[in-house]
Amino acid sequence: MTTLHSPDLSIIIVNWNVCDLLRACLHAVERGRGALDVEVIVVDSASGEGSVAMLQREFPWVRLIA
């Protein structure tokens, strides 16, 4: 039997060409999560300004759907 991980909170963010706003949002999540086990999923809609690379470099704990 497989046990599934169930976070306290799941946050899903849809992104399209707003790299700086996405970065600020994720920093705010990091600062505000406290002791909560938070899962963050970013759905990128084919951004062309570097959001995917920024996520992979700066926020490796974020699940990315691109």
Global pTM?
0.88
Confidence category of residue 62, pLDDT binned at 50, 70, 90:
very high
- Residue 49: DSSP 8-state: S
Take residue 4 and report the two structure tokens written for it: 């599934």
CA 24 to each of CA 5, 42, 43: distance values in angstroms, whole numbers, following the listed order: 27, 14, 16
Q: How confident is the model at residue 44, as a pLDDT?
A: 97
The residues facing 25 across adjacent strands are none
> What digits encode the pLDDT tens for the residues 11-58?
999 999 999 999 999 999 999 999 999 999 999 999 999 999 999 999
Class of residue 54 by CB neighbours under 10 A (exposed 0-12, middle 13-18, buried 19+): middle
Amino acid making up residue 9:
L
pLDDT over 80 (residue 1): no
